[in-house]
Amino acid sequence: MSTNYSKLVFTAGLALFVVRWEPAPFDICILLLALALATRLPSRKVRSWVAEMPLAAFYLYGYVFFSILSLLFSTHVRSACLYLGITVYLVFAYLVLVSTLNNDRVARQALSHGYILATLISAVLGVLAIRLNHIYDFDILLYGGARAQGLFKDPNVYGPFLVPSILAMVSRIFVIDNPAFSCGCLILLVFALIFSFSRGAWLNLAVGMFVWLLVDFRTVLARPRRAVGLLLLLMLTLCIYVSYSDVSYLIQRLGFQAYDADRFGTQALGIRLATRNILGIGPGEFEASIRYASHNTYIRLLAENGWFAFIFFIAFVSTVTLRLANGVSLWNRSAKLGRLDVNHGMSPPVILASMFGLLINSFFVDTLHWRHFWVILALGSLDYKEAKKYEGLASSIHYSIQPERWLESKSRRKKGQLRK
């Protein structure tokens, strides 16, 4: 794929920080990518995602089929069709991204670059809005005048959006030679995450960090001083927050909220709906039936789309997760390629940790229509079995980044020629 495609993928990742208005810039990029893919179909250069992941494709299409079938039981047909249309579009966007990224390894890095840059821009907007709101009216970037949300519609979406980049920055700190810039980015992103005051986002990060440490612990053990420095850096960030911010609101957000009881009660009603309607009550019908949002992706899937759609969706996500876990194993065996990926974007361990964070976050908020949820799923669906095949390519690029390693390899080649 040409460089122009990679630029378009980068733009799609970058556009993720603007989702306040519909259609979002990301949606336009997806349409352009779909058109670009369509022009390549006759040449048979587009690798079929269905052929590479037949089981995941079967589960995904099964989920879509039973979601469409549940439309027959909708009482508000117009809103149900709109909600289902958004779901089908996001599945389409996922397929476009997977097809594009599987054909271009550079595009994988471009999407990660764009995503990370988008989170940094969002973080700057959120932190500035919180700190300077008393000077200028930044209500468009705030929720209720107290929580950062950037150009998102909800701080509970804004906060989780930042988590994959926080994990990527933490990972970079352990593998690059000069982590000063990554440390600065990490501080900025952590401040923005705190200012979202989203408990789901905080839990998302905690789960993501735990999973990342679990699958990439050797990287941490290899540089214990970096680990101690990272802990000190995070403690410094919290000290700065405590010194210059109102801690009482943070403590209040950490506690049990008055509306939590309503949410749990609503979820119990949702489970009761699911047991009475095996094929679901119809897409987007949860609020219409109970008059309250589910705040749980899985219960919403059960109630609206039925048990079969729920099972197919869980099977699809599980298949993608297992594929990615296998990719992480291969990535860990290829240290040079692993280092290259971390230096140029999100590594497989970071993507796996981000996926687990989002899946746990889904127990407390509806994530099905989050664009970045499907972007992370797309990154997790890539063929990381190519790691060993392209290890030589990674090594050559790695040597070009570090001249002393390149000179060393060159001298070895000369010695080999002389022996011959």
Helices (H), 176-296: 180-196, 199-215, 217-222, 224-244, 247-254, 260-276, 286-290
What confidence score (pLDDT) does residue 373 get? Answer: 97
pLDDT at 107: 85
What are 355-377's pLDDT values in tens digits? 999 999 999 999 999 999 999 99
Overall domain count for the chain: 1
Listed as ranges, residues in the chain with pLDDT below 70 are: 1-4, 41-49, 103, 334-344, 384-420
* pTM (global) more than 0.85: yes
Is 398 a member of any domain? no
What pLDDT does residue 341 have?
46
Closest CA to 103 of 153, 62, 52: 52
- Please tell me the predicted confidence (pLDDT) of residue 42: 53
Backbone angles phi and psi of 145, in degrees to 5 = 75, 5
**Residue 187: CB atoms within 10 Å:** 18
330 within domain boundaries: yes
Rounded Cα–Cα distance for residues 32 and 201 (Å): 31
Can you give the pLDDT at residue 47? 57
Q: Burial code of 239-259, b = ≥16 C-beta within 10 A, e = fewer?
A: eebeeeeeeeeeeebeeeeee
> Is 399 among the domain residues?
no
Phi, psi at 257, each rounded to 5°: -95, 155
Note whether residue 419 is domain-resident: no
pLDDT of residue 390: 40
**Residue 290 confidence (pLDDT):** 81
CB 309 within 8 A of CB 300: no
Q: Which pLDDT score is estimated for 59?
A: 96
Range of the domain at 55: 3-389
Candidates 410, 416, 344; CA nearest to 111 is: 344
